[in-house]
């Protein structure tokens, strides 16, 4: 198993890509801390892992609050004895132009998508330094590399995550901490289906358009989790500061 004796914390772990990461990382031998606001869904993920004989806990956490993030890290370390892998995956989207988004919505997108990466990393890196290193994988987006229509706050936030990843890789490489990000394309998650509602489009039409890429399908949460597994594992021991596009060829041309 790729992650034997490792401890991983995944934010947004109750559903979608985060849930897929939790299930895969546990299957590969890691103890997993599932961090989310949705207690019912998060506990359901943990129950699934425990029923499989794997190690997992749920931590209720608002990733935009420093105290919650510190408590999540401390509870993880207290339960499993360390923290080797941080998966900064929590995220939200608002499908608006800059003229239509409110200041409150802008601040919320930036808080969940960017500030959470700052807070969770700030709490986790000292633990990794103490233990001799670790890996951080941030979930960005293809729209962190190119622009997209009616998603200005999301594009801005994910662009920030991409460049934060590079800066953190420079700062913490000497401490044996690798920092990378994934840039998914459209992936079949509850958040993607919520985008259709925000735009007032039928699910079928929206999902069909999302599949218009060279591989002719949307991503699955498991596709993104596999990329995170690679970046977090020793298979990527010489990889840091990279933005790995996982989008079925959507940005290829």
Alpha carbon distance 157, 105 (integer Å): 12
For residue 136, the number of C-alpha atoms closer than 13 Å in the C-beta half-sphere is: 35
Residue 141 clears pLDDT 90, i.e. is over it: yes
Mean of pLDDT values over 9-27? 98
Residue with tokens 């992936």: 187
Mean of pLDDT values over 183-191? 96
Alpha carbon distance 37, 63 (integer Å): 8
pTM (global) more than 0.95: yes
Residue 253 clears pLDDT 90, i.e. is over it: no
SS3 at position 181 = strand
- Class of residue 44 by CB neighbours under 10 A (exposed 0-12, middle 13-18, buried 19+): middle
Catalytic positions:
154
SS3 at position 221 = helix
59 touches 34 (CB < 8 A): yes
Taken in order of first residue, the domains within the chain and their CATH numbers are 7-187+222-237 (3.40.50.720)
Q: What is the mean pLDDT of the chain?
A: 97
- Percent with pLDDT over 70 in the chain: 100
Radius of gyration over alpha carbons of the chain, in Å?
A: 17
């Amino acid at each position: 198993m790729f992650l034997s004796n490792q401890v991983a914390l995944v934010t947004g772990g109750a559903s979608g890509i985060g849930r897929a990461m939790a299930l895969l990382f546990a299957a590969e031998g890691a103890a997993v801390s599932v961090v989310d606001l949705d207690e019912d869904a998060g506990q359901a993920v943990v129950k699934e892992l425990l029923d499989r004989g794997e190690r997992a806990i749920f931590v209720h956490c608002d990733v935009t609050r420093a105290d919650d993030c510190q408590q999540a890290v401390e509870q993880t370390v207290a339960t499993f004895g360390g923290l080797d892998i941080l998966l900064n995956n929590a995220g939200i989207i608002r499908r608006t132009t800059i003229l239509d988004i409110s200041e409150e919505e802008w601040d919320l997108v930036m808080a969940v998508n960017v500030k959470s990466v700052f807070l969770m990393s700030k709490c986790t890196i000292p633990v990794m330094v103490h233990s001799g290193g670790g890996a951080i994988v941030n979930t960005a987006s293809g729209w962190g590399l190119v622009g997209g229509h009616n998603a200005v706050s999301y594009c801005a936030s994910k662009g920030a995550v991409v460049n934060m990843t590079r800066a953190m890789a420079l700062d913490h490489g000497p401490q044996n901490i690798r920092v990378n990000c994934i840039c998914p394309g459209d992936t079949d998650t509850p958040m993607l289906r919520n985008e259709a509602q925000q735009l007032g489009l039928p699910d079928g039409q929206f999902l069909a358009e999302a599949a218009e890429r060279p591989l002719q399908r949307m991503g699955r949460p498991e596709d993104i989790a596999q990329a995170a597994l690679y970046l977090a594992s020793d298979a990527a021991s010489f990889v840091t500061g990279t933005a790995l596009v996982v989008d079925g060829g959507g940005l290829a041309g």
